[in-house]
Amino acid sequence: MNRHLISAADLSRDDALRVLDTADELARISDRPIKKLPTLRGRTVVNLFFEDSTRTRISFEAAAKRLSADVINFSAKGSSVAKGESLKDTALTLEAMGADAVVIRHNASGAPHRLAEWVRGSVINAGDGAHEHPTQALLDAFTIRRRFGRSSNGQGPSGQAGRGGTLDGLRVTIVGDILHSRVARSNVILLHTLGAEVLLVAPPTLLPVAVDTWPCSIDYDLDAALSKSDVVMMLRIQLERMNAAFFPSVREYSRRYGLDCARMAQLPERAIVMHPGPMNRGVEIAAGVADSPRSTVVEQVANGVSVRMAVLYLLLGGAEGDQ
């Protein structure tokens, strides 16, 4: 792997499978009475969050602590950043503290890339603007692989997710606010790398200008896509990022692009429903769907810790042998 994880495009197929296989091994720690390994003892991981995100920050913190790393949580609110300190000055401060890895979430696309130019430690992108969120894509792929129990040759269910399993041939439909979604961008890149067929379904107003250059196909009719989908990933409508009227009303959007129980019944028998969270119940996903056995929402949260442990381990613990 590279020294940083800024984009899902940083991962080759072998890199991505290595992360997923490592996460499989580390997930077993959750079943132990003592859920810790000494792998990163003496290393320092800084969570540098310029945007609120309780779920992602806690997930990275739990992952680092389970590997015995020292964790520093840095929030922009109430810090020197709120007093006008620049990202570069903050980076130099972290460098002086000896940070081995910086997990950054920022409202500006490209901030992790700039940070990587200023620090010697590894930089992990935990979400930058409407750009990317690579560890979310990794945990989503990990969840899909486990649910479908892909065998090492990718030929279908084996009853258990095996090492080296791929997503070859799986059909993943991503629905909703593609325009503002960093999760969608990272998932399209990573799922394509792992061999899945990706379909984006959204109103034309919620698709990026250059979406036709992405390695996926596009449709505007959710009902037509459901019967052909192995995985349906619903995205949150990000009203806080919208500065224009992208659809007539929330009610109209829900009617056209929301996943309710009637629509879920159109899915193939083994299909699953995903959501990166937080969910707007009753808008993009009905409560009955979110709480159904087909939903992987809770699994995604649990798998996020294992996947982020794998990323930290490979960037820091396994770094000596890779560079």
Q: How confident is the model at residue 323 (pLDDT cuts 50, 70, 90)?
A: very low
Edge-first strand listing for the sheet containing 122-128: 70-75, 44-49, 101-106, 122-128
User: Does residue 57 carry a pLDDT above 60?
Assistant: yes
Tokens 């930089």 sit at which residue? 123
Q: How confident is the model at residue 61 (pLDDT cuts 50, 70, 90)?
A: very high
The whole-number pLDDT of residue 156 equals: 44
Collapsing DSSP to helix, strand or coil, 47 comes out as strand
> Which of 7-11, 89-93, 129-133 bottoms out in mean pLDDT, i.e. has the lowest?
89-93
Q: Whole-model pTM?
A: 0.91
Q: How confident is the model at residue 321 (pLDDT cuts 50, 70, 90)?
A: very low
The whole-number pLDDT of residue 133 equals: 97
The whole-number pLDDT of residue 119 equals: 93
Q: CA-to-CA distance for 89 and 50, rounded, in angstroms?
A: 14
Q: How confident is the model at residue 155 (pLDDT cuts 50, 70, 90)?
A: very low
Counting DSSP H helices and E strands in the chain, the numbers are 12, 9
| Residue closest to 68 by CA, chosen among 41, 88, 47 | 41
For 44, 78, 81, 127, 218, the CA distances from 94, given in Å and listed in that order, are 10, 17, 13, 19, 42
Q: In this structure, are residues 106 and 50 in contact, taking their beta carbons and an 8 Å threshold?
A: yes
Q: What's the average model confidence in pLDDT over 133-139?
A: 98
- pLDDT tens-digit readout, 161-194: 334 467 999 999 999 999 989 999 999 999 999 9
Q: Within 13 Å and on the Cβ side, how many CA atoms surround 141?
A: 37
